[in-house]
Amino acid sequence: MGFNNLKRNDIVFSESKGSRVFKLISKNNSEWIVEDVFSKQSDVIKENDQVKVVKTDKKSKPFSMSKLFESSKVSIRPTLTEKEIFIVEELKDSFEESYLHDVIAEYENGNLDAGSKLLDRYLKVLNVSKKSQYDLYSLIQYVYCAIENYDNEISTSTNINRFKLFELKATEITDERKYQNWTLDVPALDLDMMIKMQSGILDNFWNYDPDAGWADYGDSQFIALEDVEIDEPALTEYHKPLVIE
């Protein structure tokens, strides 16, 4: 993206400014007032600075009425199915309530795989396959149900709080090493003279307007996840809560 196409709130990586990441604040003539994403210090980016856009704001899409209509037709079963009764009963019979609470605590601390192995065992017995990673994470809903009904009889009339689908979005910021070849034509008497001049020329190399040649890129280094957002999509048949019939 060219310098003139940059917009307010864009996140850019600047190699010429010490490989730093900036947020664009405001434009003043041919300069951008920026803020360092990490140190929060103000700086200025000019047209000749090397920048790479990491993240740019996009206009929000209008809410689709067809999607709203589609979502209104989705029905969610509020009670357990016969197969789900088996899963919840096995959890209650096989594990102490304190262990189930530990699984829930681990999940709520961000470990999405918490309890997946013990639930996978029951799915194999039921000959049920998981359709997606979302279904895998949703299996933890049966652990919640087992805790809520640990001392109660359960049936197809037992309510279950089914998981909704949320989208966690984040922008990855990386530092990518670039190898750029530059050529500068220098008049000299002979090779010995050129070798003698080399150090002084390199001290002011960019002042002599060298010509860019080939470029290559090395491995990128992860810096951070920025601009984290959580969205709750409209309920559709594709995104409806997991029910094992």
pLDDT for the residue 130: 66
180 φ, ψ (degrees, to nearest 5):
-110, 125
Domain tally for the chain?
A: 2
Single pTM value for the model: 0.56
Residue 226 located in a structural domain: no
* Residues 79 and 141 grouped into a single domain: yes
Are 237 and 74 spatial neighbours (Cβ–Cβ below 8 Å)? yes
Identify the burial level of 119 via C-beta atoms within 10 angstroms of its C-beta, where 0-12 means exposed, 13-18 middle and 19 or more buried: buried
pLDDT for the residue 71: 46
pLDDT for the residue 131: 64
* Residues 102 and 51 grouped into a single domain: no
Closest CA to 224 of 12, 24, 45, 38: 38
Residue 133 located in a structural domain: yes
Confidence of residue 238 (pLDDT cuts 50, 70, 90): low
Residues 1-46 pLDDT 10s:
567 778 888 888 787 777 778 888 888 777 888 888 767 788 888 8
Q: What share of the chain in percent tops pLDDT 70?
A: 87
pLDDT for the residue 153: 93
Residues 92-133 pLDDT 10s:
988 999 999 999 999 999 888 888 888 777 777 777 666 677
Residues 64-79 pLDDT 10s:
444 444 444 567 889 9
**Residue written as token pair 């002042």:** 207
* Residues 118 and 37 grouped into a single domain: no
* Residues 42 and 119 grouped into a single domain: no
